[in-house]
Amino acid sequence: MDMDVLTKKIDLLDDLGLFDEALDILNSLLDDEEHKSWAIANKTILYNNYGESDKALSLIDEFLMENPNDVNGNYAKGKVLLDMEKFDEAEKYLRGGFEGNDHEISYLVANTFFKAENFEIALEILESIPVGSKLIPEGSEFYQMIQMLKNQIYEELNEISDLEDQENRENFSTLDPRTPSERIMFQGTEAYDLIDEAWAENNSLKARKLARKALKLDKYAIDAYNVLAFHASDDEEWKNYYKKAIDLFHETHDEDYFEEFTGSFWRHMETRPFMRAMEGLANALNFTGNEKEAADLYEYMLELDSRDHQYVRYTFMNVLLSLDRLDEVANVLNQFDYDNNAQFLFSKLLWAIKSNCDEKSLKKLFHEATESNEYIVPFLFDHKLMPPELPRIYRPGEPSEAAQYLFVSYDAWKDEMALKTLRNLAAKYGRR
């Protein structure tokens, strides 16, 4: 029996909507021990494709109780969980659904997430593979396969980003921090329609009025408090609205929820208003002189979302550097050692200076940082060179990025010895 041919036939029947015909073929194989697991796995996926996810899970769970290490069964359950957006569980079962060494399996799992258009998670998994190491040397076939998949993901993410930017320009105020997919998820109720209007409103009084109307309709509309905080009239109001959003999320999500999703919070859409409120409160605390409290919140956010989709690590590192908590900075640097963003590299350079690293290390880090953005060092030495207004968006390597970096790192660089060392490095190794 040619299973490749049979697989294509099942897929074709599925595409044509001939569910019963496909099911008949799979049922006919259930008594064939050689092909039973393949048949059950494909039957599970078929049920799921037709919206019967409960039936699919019941079928595959019963099979996996007796055959926990079955490759076909694990893959099928992983696919069902992936469609249900239970990404952590899906990854676990998908890893059991492939054969090979750990890195080969990671690649295959990433490719599965990619095909399901979960591009960010696919990229996260690929970044865990040590490309360029002795195990996967540059130029090897596996290295090239990984790089090719990464490039495909970058192309998709860039296309999505361009579409989102276009949609924001055409339909939404740039004040709105949400992605189109988030807006789609929360739309459909009068309260969230009002929140959409509030985010699109540039007039603070009108925006606050719309947010309050939304809360009257739905007291659990957390994002309404984020709107109110964004348009707050003073620092205390700014912090209190974010606190209300955070408290409301805790009120509606118990400890079991936090325990289950800690580490992957951002992957779950319903957590995002809460995570933005956390970031808002941490920033508010930081800019009102409560750096230690802010640092605690940033640290907690990295615990909840270990991949840091909000990039709070940049501000967090600057707060830690201003407090001279260098061991904690080192932990963040190690956690995100793949990051080559200018903000990250300049924080790494400042940490090395404050840690009294040797000249050779400082030279290397100085070159890496200044190659990522040539404007930051001149701006640090002469603030008059900066743009007259802080840009709301920035481009990597350009003055806008340098201005954004200085805005969040000003206190961290208020260290005469560090600036003196930076001047020496610039004199020795800077561009002539």
pLDDT tens, residue by residue, 314-325 = 999 999 999 999
Grade residue 307 by pLDDT with cuts at 50, 70 and 90.
Answer: confident
346 close to 422: Cβ distance less than 8 angstroms: no
Domain final residue pick, 280, 301, 331: 280
pLDDT at res. 187: 54
Do residues 270 and 349 both lie within one domain?
no
Q: How far apart are CA 285 and CA 379, in angstroms?
A: 26
Let me know if residue 290 belongs to a domain.
Answer: no
* Mean pLDDT across the chain: 85
* Residue 369 included in any domain: yes
Per 3-state DSSP, what percentage of the chain is helix, strand, and coil (rounded to 5)?
A: 70, 0, 30
Instruction: Round to whole Å and give the CA distance between 272 and 310.
Output: 10
Domain boundary among 225, 258, 280: 280
Structural domain for 209, as ranges? 175-280
Higher per-residue confidence, 379 vs 188: 379
Same-domain status, 122 and 202: no
Query: CB pairs under 8 A, 24+ apart, for 41-45?
Result: 41/72, 41/73, 41/75, 41/76, 42/7, 42/10, 42/76, 44/73, 44/76, 44/77, 44/79, 44/80, 45/76, 45/79, 45/80
Q: With respect to residue 326, please indicate whether it lies within any of the assigned structural domains.
A: yes
Say yes or no to pLDDT of 164 above 50. no
**Pair (10, 141) in one structural domain:** yes
CATH code at position 179: 1.25.40
Same domain, 263 and 360: no
Domain-terminating residue out of 126, 160, 194: 160
Predicted confidence band of residue 169 (pLDDT cuts 50, 70, 90): very low
Of 88-102, 200-214, 368-382, the poorest mean pLDDT is in 88-102
**Confidence (pLDDT) at 174:** 47
Structural domain contains residue 286: no
- Please report, for residues 94, 96, 318, the alpha-carbon distance to residue 345 in angstroms, rounded to integers and kept in the order given: 35, 37, 12
Does residue 296 sit within a domain?
no
Q: Which residues contact 395 (CB under 8 A, 6 or more apart)?
A: 401
Q: How many domains does the chain have?
A: 3
178 band by pLDDT with thresholds 50, 70 and 90: low
